[in-house]
Structure formats: C-alpha cells, structure tokens
Structure 1
C-alpha cells in the first residue's frame, strides 16, 4: 500500500508538541524585546530598525535550512536534527539576552535568537507535509496553532505572573532589565528545549524512499499529466537582476539625497539582494552549474507554484499587520492608554506588563480558535475560513484606537487571536497540498520569504510613517495594521486551493 496512512490524534499531538516550546521563546521575544531595547536606551522611532535583525535572519536562514533538510537523512531523521540543534542555541540565547549590557549587544542577541528559532521552526512546517496525507493537513497545522497558542499564553503572561503572583520586581534602575523579565527568559529557555526534545524522541519520519512512493501513488490517483515548468533563461535572470540592482541603488541614493530615515536603506539592500541573487543564478545557468543549492533555491523562488504565488500576497499583508502590532503595541498602549513615555516609571512598566497579558490573551484565544478552525473550514472551505478570521483580526487592531480602558482591550484580542491561529494554519494547509514532497522543505523556506519581506519593509518604513504621517503616535500604526489585515482578506479570494479536508 503506497497511500500515506492517516495518523492518530496522539501521533499528531507528539509531532506538534515541540511548537509549544518554540512559540514560548518566540512569544517572550515578541512581547519583551521592544521593552528591553527601550530600557537600554533605544528611542521609540528606532525600534523598527532594531527589530530588523529578526526578519533579515529569517530571510537568510529559512530557505537554506529548508533546502538542507530536504537533502538530510541520518539516524535522527530528516527534519528532527534541525529541531534539536536550533532549540539548543535558542535556549542559550534566551538565557543571555536579558543580561545584555548594551543596546547593540541586545540587538545582536535578537539576531542569534531569531536565527536559532528559525532553524527549529522552519522544518516543523515541512514535517506536517511529510507525515500527513492531504486530508489531515488542516488538522496538523491547526494542532501546531493550538500549541503555539498555549505556549505563547504562558510566555506572554510570565513577567506579569512574576510581579503579581510571586512578588518579583518589574522595575529596576534606568538601563537595567527588571528581574521579572530575566527570570521569564530563563524559564523560557528551559521549556523551549524540553518541548522540542519531546517531539524529537516521540516521533519517527518516513524515509526518502517511502516519501517518493507516497508521491508516486498520489500522482497516479490524480491521473495528472506532468506539468512542464517554463524555465527562465540566463538572459532573463540577468535582465531582471540588473533591474532590481538599479532599483535598490535608486532607493539608496534617495535616502541620502532627501535625508530619509536610515531604516529605508535596508529596503534598498533588499532590492539589491534580490537583484544579485538573479545575476548569480543567471551566471550559474549560463555555465551549466545548476546542481548547487544557491541556484536551486533561486530557481524554485522564481518558478514557484501558482498557489504559492497567490498565497504570497495574502502572507505579505497578514504579516505586515502582525509586525506592526509586535513592534508598536507596547509604545501604543503605554502612551495612548497609560499616557506615559517614561520607561523607568511604574506606570510605564505596568502598561508594558499589560501588553504581555494582551499578547498572552490573543494567543489563548488562538489556542481556542485552533479547535474551531477545522470545523469552520469544513463549512466555509479553507479560503472562506481564512477570510473570516482575517476580518476579525482587522476589527481587533482597529478597535485599539476606540477603546480607552486597557482592560477592555482583551476583547480586541479575540479577533487578533482568531487571525493569528488562522495565519499559522490555513495558508500552510493550502500550500502543502500544491508542493512536491521532495521539495517540501525548500518551498516552505521560500514561502517564509513572504513573512520576512513584509517585516523588513515594515522595519524600514514604519518609523518613517510613524513620524511623518502619524505625528509619532504609535496607536495609528496599529490601525494601519488592521487595514493591512483587510487587504490580506481580499487577496485570499483569488487563491486556488487544490487540497481537500477530511
């Protein structure tokens, strides 16, 4: 029998459990890094630039790890070696980050932490595609969303719990990270490693031969003729490469000629980097050197399946909204709802702690949404379910400017939680059904470009937008994030979903 067998509930549970730990670290990062940066002296309009370490790291690491994991097979398996080593380094980074003596050390630790989390996280997406048949993939990704929600709830609440339940101080001298944050990061490092170890030792993986047999059987069942992929020529790579390099150069010149904020130079670097990648791919193609990872990643990026290209637009606007919230939620809530900008004051730190509670709340709602989403997908289809959830997220972010009592922001987090759970499951469930098994890892890595690129653009432009359009009032960045969710919902309408749900 060459049909991929369906897994039991507990098998799906075990293969997803590691995400609880990964999200524990990710949630501590999201809820507290801006606080750490501001405590170490970062101005509010520099926060987006400092956060760029995370998406730039993802842009470099994810496709490399995806490509490597597709080619890996050893005693630990295909994806599990990356789960393990990424978790070890992420745990060490969590232990050290709150002890950073300077702002730039903290920024460097964010780079290391995010790279390590990506090494573990990226193969988890491909793992679901490897192990589950099409009919169970919505369940598999929803289970990941459930553990993401549970892990993030506890992680986001930790500093608040430390202060309000255990009596640990949430204030410190100027330039010093409070003990409540330090202890939270220590606990997070331990939980991250232990949860990933559970998945590593409680699961098995199909061999490359088994996966090839499953893929052949699937193709026979569909009775589909081989799809001929139109391959770009070396000249085409070169022409597009030059165009992107020129565009990047023009943006860089504009930064200096018009005195634009320094963050915009990163956007110039992104354009130039895409151009250089195409030039390198064109050169390799012209010399017949197409068997290496650099060319293969470039080829797959510029020849992605149609469904993946459609989902890229959805992901772009979804993650632009999320990144807006992660960067500016602390600044927006402390300035708009708590009416303070003094980072050493008790009022500011109470507000920052409350943001941790809000982040925990939306992740808690996401855990509940993960149970509902497979049922919603059966009724409305995966696209319909995703559109509804993105609209709920938009309502949640836009309501921040309407609600003045910070306690009632918990209601806003219901919508954000449903959007978050859906973003972590629906696009991947749709995408995995359109990808070949032998390239599941590299395509999942490339797909994450469309998480990373909006983060880089947000980091490059949000500081400028904050000052020029919103007069330095961070609350309006959250409203802009809500509008971005609505654009993502509209883009979902054109997505072609090739899979089916059980």
Structure 2
C-alpha cells in the first residue's frame, strides 16, 4: 500500500476519484451531445429521442445490480472492483467512438432506419458505463473508513468529476460536440486504466455500523422486497416499455396518474415507518428510506438532461442548430462548474456540522425553486445560465452526498450489491423520465411544462429527505476495519 493511501492524503482522494470521473465524463458527453446529435443530425423527434434514452436505464437495471453483486464476491487482477473498472472503461471509450457514426454504422449494416442503431449504440454505451460506475463508487467505500473520511471521499469524487464535467461542456460549447466526443475517448480510457496502479483494495470488508447484516442472504425476491419504495416506478417502466414497443398510444394520462399515486403510497409507507432497533421487519428500512427520497430527484434531473434541447428550441425558435448546441452546452458547463467547486469547499464542512442528510435536503429544496423559476426564463439565455448556477447546488449534492449517506446504512462486504440496488433509485426514475415525461413534453404545445414537472419532483424529494435519519458515528473509530 502506498503512503498516500495509508495516510488518506488529498492526493490519494484525487486519484481515487479518477475512475468515477472517467464514467462521469462519458455520461456528460452523452448528456451534452446525444440529444443534440439525434435531433439536429439525424432528425429524430422528441418521442424517439426519449425512447433512445430509455436504453440507458435498462442498462443500469441490468448492469449495476449484477456487476455490483459479482464484484463483491470475486478477486482477480489484484482486486474485486479493478477488473470491472478496466473492462467497462475500454468498452465505454469504444462506444463513445461509435456515437457520432450512427449513420455510418446503419449504412454499413444495410439498415434504413437509424432509431434501432441509435438505441443499440446508446445501450452499449450505457451498459459500458454501468459496468464501471458501480465499482468506481464502491471502491471509495472499500478503502475509506465509515464516517467523515468516507463523506470526504465522495465529495472529492464529485469535485474532481465535476471539474472534468465542466471541461466536457466547455469543449462542446467552444468547439463542437464532435470534438468533445473524440476527446472523451482518450480521457475515459486513461482515467479508467492508470489510477488502478495506485490503489490497493482490501481483501476483507467488514461493517462497524451494521454487523447484524453480515449473514443476510439477498436473493431475487429479497432484493425485490428491499426496493419496495420503487415499485411504482418499476410498474410504470414495464408498462411504458411494452406500450412503446407495441406502438400502443392513449389520448389520456390515467395510467400515469395511477402509477404516480402508487409511487407516492409506497414512498410514504416507507418514510412513515419508524426504525426500531432489532426489528426484524426494519433491517433494511434506513436503506429503503434513502431509495424513496432519492428517486424523485432523478425524475426531475433526468428530464432536464433529456429535454433541455427541445425546451431551448421552443423558447428560442430563431437560433440555428450550432447556437442551440452552444446554449445547451454552456448551460450544462455552468451547472457542472458549480457542482465541481461546492462539495469539498461547502458541502463537506456543512455535512460535518449539520449532518449529510440535512445538508442534502436543503440543496434539493434549492433545486426545486430553481426549476419553477426556469419556466419563466426560457427565452432569456442569460437567465437560463443564472438559474443553471442555482441548479448546480442541488446537482453537487445529488452526485456526492447520497452515496455517503447510503453507504452508512448497509453491510460493508455487500457494498457492490447495495450500490447496484441503490442505482435503481436512479435508473427506474430515469426510465419514467424517458418514457412518461417524454410523452407529456412531446404532446404539450408549451414545452415549459418540462420544468413544472421537474420542480414538483424535486419538491417531493426535498420533503422525503426529512424522513431519513442520520447515522450516529461517534462509536466508530476512524480507519477501523481498513
């Protein structure tokens, strides 16, 4: 073990953040460029774009849970997470290379329509990202002590990853999205491979906070029960996929309303249940409450990611395709710039003083306010930029603090599995955003409805975080078990 890891130096935290940065950069490229390419280069409408984006959550459902569970129980190439980081990084780089060449791939295969090819490319890209994303986050929990050092690990992850996310959107805005994609191929490959030379993984993992869960078996039905707060999202995702594939269309939103109410029921049921020490029916309750609170955040955030381009196009119809790409690119650049500087400078000290849960809840509430105001600012480019800075506060928390909060509520040796299950609170809501919100935004004459939906979802999430308890860490010795 190198001294930088033994001493948990800032340099080690920076290196530890690079694999997650590689996957975050790949995701930033996907967010910045994929909708733009599909709409402006290949002429897909909003419905088709949403359907292409649905491939990602499907990859996450399959990839992160399975890879997480496997990585908990294997050891080769000198680690349990390292092999999947390497494999996923190489595949992600190759998939990014395919993204701007969808038409070339379609022509070479003799396929007339490009939607199927676009879905395939998006699925391979997202599956590659998901193969690595779970291990890149789990390894941070593996090599840091439970407590503030782990929070520091995840805030550093977001600071480094967010900084490169800013670079991604800057390249897209200043040059173009094609330059961004080709640059990302080399960065993703380097950041997936090189950091593994400096990180030593522990062969044994034990939890100081939840030793009672060490012998807990997690089969399919047990896992399904654990994710009960997400059942409403799961039911709607399955329905929407079948309806879309079968080309079944309705002129009402009755099913959407029923699934929304069902989701609220399961979320409320989870949050209102009291955690009892030693209660057999509440052994995963803390984890479930995090799932419930985190899920609505991602409906709002993913909806913005997917439909920001149509939103700007609706409000600024006179700008050309390149200007449209620049507005969206600069917007997300500002969004990520705020998210890059806040975690270490602000969120970490606030979490140490007030707790990670409260700090996160405040950030999500600020994001809800920003979304509601955005409905009035679509025609004003500089107004959009200002609000994206405010939204960046919530984004900085979303991709740093929940990992630290969640990792304290589960058993350490199954971190990959739980990280995969936790990811379902991201990908199932993403599926709703791709299919359900896409249908509503596509059918609405006024695309400003997008940010009304986003604001409502973030407001619900902020309220839900009030029901999540902060783990008490005073009896946990720093560095124990590592």
TM-score calculated relative to the size of structure 2: 0.80
Structural mapping, 1:14-413, within 5 Å:
14-38=15-39, 39-101=41-103, 102-135=114-147, 136-162=149-175, 180-208=176-204, 211-212=205-206, 215=207, 218=208, 259-260=249-250, 305-336=284-315, 338-340=316-318, 347-371=320-344, 372-403=346-377, 404-413=379-388
For 2:74 and 2:169, how far apart are their aligned partners in 1?
Answer: 35
Whether 1:481 and 2:477 are equivalent positions in the alignment is no
Listed one character per residue, the Cα deviations across residues 368-419 of structure 1 (whole Å, up to 9, x for unaligned) are: 1112101111232111111111112112222222223202222111222111
Superposition deviation, residue 232 in structure 1: 10
Residue 95 of structure 1 aligns to a residue in which SS?
helix
More deviation, 99-108/137-146: 99-108
Number of corresponding residues: 430
Superposition deviation, residue 322 in structure 1: 0.8
**Structure 1 residues 229, 71: CA separation in 2 closer, same or farther (over 3 Å shift)?**
closer
For 2:387 and 2:237, how far apart are their aligned partners in 1?
Answer: 38
For 2:241 and 2:22, how far apart are their aligned partners in 1?
Answer: 40
**Structure 1 residues 247, 25: CA separation in 2 closer, same or farther (over 3 Å shift)?**
closer
Superposition deviation, residue 309 in structure 1: 0.5
Listed one character per residue, the Cα deviations across residues 172-222 of structure 1 (whole Å, up to 9, x for unaligned) are: xxxxxxxx32222111110111112232112111112xx24xx4xx36xx9
Check whether the contact 1:264–1:460 (CA below 8 A) recurs between aligned residues. Answer: no
Residue 289 of structure 1 is matched in structure 2 by none
Check whether the contact 1:395–1:412 (CA below 8 A) recurs between aligned residues. Answer: no
Residue 460 of structure 2 aligns to a residue in which SS?
helix
Check whether the contact 1:252–1:265 (CA below 8 A) recurs between aligned residues. Answer: no
**Structure 1 residues 465, 81: CA separation in 2 closer, same or farther (over 3 Å shift)?**
same
Residue 430 of structure 1 is matched in structure 2 by 405
Check whether the contact 2:299–2:454 (CA below 8 A) recurs between aligned residues. Answer: yes
Check whether the contact 2:213–2:411 (CA below 8 A) recurs between aligned residues. Answer: no
Superposition deviation, residue 330 in structure 1: 0.8
For 1:391 and 1:97, how far apart are their aligned partners in 2?
Answer: 35
**Structure 1 residues 252, 431: CA separation in 2 closer, same or farther (over 3 Å shift)?**
closer
Residue 262 of structure 2 is matched in structure 1 by none
Which runs of 5 or more structure 2 residues have no equivalent in the other structure? 104-113, 259-280
**Structure 1 residues 377, 103: CA separation in 2 closer, same or farther (over 3 Å shift)?**
same
For 1:406 and 1:303, how far apart are their aligned partners in 2?
Answer: 49
**Structure 1 residues 339, 84: CA separation in 2 closer, same or farther (over 3 Å shift)?**
same
Residue 449 of structure 1 is matched in structure 2 by 424
RMSD value, Cα: 3.7
Superposition deviation, residue 353 in structure 1: 1.7
Check whether the contact 1:85–1:120 (CA below 8 A) recurs between aligned residues. Answer: yes
User: Higher Cα Rg: structure 1 or 2?
Assistant: 1
Residue 12 of structure 2 is matched in structure 1 by 11
Listed one character per residue, the Cα deviations across residues 138-182 of structure 1 (whole Å, up to 9, x for unaligned) are: 1111011112211111111212221xxxxxxxxxxxxxxxxx322
Moved over 3 A (4+): 224-235, 243-259, 261-268, 499-502
Residue 493 of structure 1 aligns to a residue in which SS?
helix
**Structure 1 residues 478, 10: CA separation in 2 closer, same or farther (over 3 Å shift)?**
same
Whether 1:419 and 2:419 are equivalent positions in the alignment is no
**Structure 1 residues 426, 442: CA separation in 2 closer, same or farther (over 3 Å shift)?**
same
For 2:55 and 2:72, how far apart are their aligned partners in 1?
Answer: 26
Superposition deviation, residue 262 in structure 1: 13
**Structure 1 residues 467, 34: CA separation in 2 closer, same or farther (over 3 Å shift)?**
closer
Check whether the contact 2:174–2:326 (CA below 8 A) recurs between aligned residues. Answer: no
For 2:43 and 2:247, how far apart are their aligned partners in 1?
Answer: 29
For 1:192 and 1:159, how far apart are their aligned partners in 2?
Answer: 16
Superposition deviation, residue 248 in structure 1: 9.2
For 1:16 and 1:195, how far apart are their aligned partners in 2?
Answer: 9
TM-score calculated relative to the size of structure 1: 0.77
For 2:240 and 2:331, how far apart are their aligned partners in 1?
Answer: 37
For 2:415 and 2:97, how far apart are their aligned partners in 1?
Answer: 33
Superposition deviation, residue 99 in structure 1: 1.1
For 2:391 and 2:21, how far apart are their aligned partners in 1?
Answer: 19
Check whether the contact 2:372–2:451 (CA below 8 A) recurs between aligned residues. Answer: yes
**Structure 1 residues 64, 157: CA separation in 2 closer, same or farther (over 3 Å shift)?**
same
For 1:24 and 1:247, how far apart are their aligned partners in 2?
Answer: 30
Check whether the contact 1:17–1:196 (CA below 8 A) recurs between aligned residues. Answer: yes
